[in-house]
Amino acid sequence: MYLWEMLKFDHIRHFIATAETGSIKDAAEKIRISPTSIRHSIEKLETGLNATLFVRRPSEGVSLTNDGYRLLERTTHLISDVEDIESLFITSKRKLRGNLIIGCQEGLTWSLVPRAIELMNQAHPDVNISVKTVWMETQFETLEKAEVDVLLTFTLDEVKDKRYQANVLCRPQACAMMRKGHDLDNGKPVKLSDLANYPHIFIQDGPAMTLFSGMYQKVGLEPVIYMYSNISTGAQSVVGRTDAISLRILRPAIGLTPLGDGMVVPMIKDKVQKPWLVAMTNKIKRPLALDKRTEFINICHQLFDGGQMKKHIYY
């Protein structure tokens, strides 16, 4: 077994405190632990290094030996280095800091993510968050390549890949986006058989295309395709100026397209497949006590549990 597998950083910290104060009792008071813990750390160091680090004088405290001085010279900088490293990620008030990259579909960049960033900034203002648009068809490639820290995505099936930690945020219900005043705009859920009579804008993004076209195929319908789009806001603009329908998971909180046209987004009445909205991370062997990824995902859960996301998703 290697030496540093036997020793802990706290042993070094306790050794330095004792060397600086010249007393086990004073060192214990300085770093607020018991004298027994200080003695244990020194004994572990001396055993691991096969050296005597202090001369103990019951009435006068302790004094460094030559070996003790050599160790002090080599380890003093470790404390400051580790403190510098810690300051990059955690503040003195145990608040997080550093960078956090969120990967998500385009629709989540204007619905879930802004709300989550706002709450994250309030709790941890020193965390710098950036957002990367990720297409569903790339699956978990951005996690595999460590391009994002948290991936917010829709999946057609439950994630069972053991390489990832998948947190289910909700099982959303599909809806149909159409212009306000459309023939099917009656304030009630709509049937696929009625929707199929109108041209459709399909989201051409792998699983999304499979999900929505599959809904029609399951009941033997095949609507006319008006156009394909990968950008939800672009599809909204076209819907607002035509009779085209666009099946969606996300809907704007305000019934207006980017061009200012009115639109409505009723639920689909048929029993259709529900996708999974998940927040994913690469699985780690040893969970961290304070982790930027976990904090962000917890905030996402709060937004769904508190009902704020009902403005955008039927769930």
Mean pLDDT of 295-299: 96
69 and 211 belong to one structural domain: no
Choice between 97 and 177, residue whose per-residue pLDDT is larger: 177
- Domain extent, residue 8, equals 3-87
- Each residue of 123-135: pLDDT tens digit? 999 999 999 999 9
Does 14 have pLDDT greater than 80?
yes
With a pLDDT cut of 90, the percent of the chain lying above it is: 73
Does any domain span residue 269?
A: no
Q: Tokens 């666009």 correspond to what residue? A: 246
**CA distances for 107 relative to 244, 265, 284, angstroms:** 19, 15, 28
Q: How many domains does the chain have?
A: 3
Report the pLDDT value the prediction gives residue 290, as an integer from 0 to 100: 75
5: Cα separation from own chain's centroid: 31
256 and 300 belong to one structural domain: no
Does any domain span residue 153?
A: yes
Q: Angle CA(203)–CA(313)–CA(198) in degrees, nearest 5?
A: 45
> What's the pLDDT band for 6 if we cut at 50, 70, 90?
low
Task: Say whether pTM exceeds 0.75.
Answer: no
Does any domain span residue 92?
A: no
Size (the chain), residues: 315
- Each residue of 55-101: pLDDT tens digit? 988 777 899 999 999 999 988 887 778 777 777 776 666 678 889 99
- Coil/strand/helix, residue 289: coil
Does 17 have pLDDT greater than 80?
yes
Does any domain span residue 128?
A: yes
Does any domain span residue 220?
A: yes
Mean pLDDT of the chain: 91
Report the pLDDT value the prediction gives residue 9, as an integer from 0 to 100: 81
Mean pLDDT of 147-153: 96
Burial (CB count within 10 angstroms: exposed 0-12, middle 13-18, buried 19+), residue 301: middle
Could you tell me the CATH number of the domain that includes residue 136? 3.40.190.10
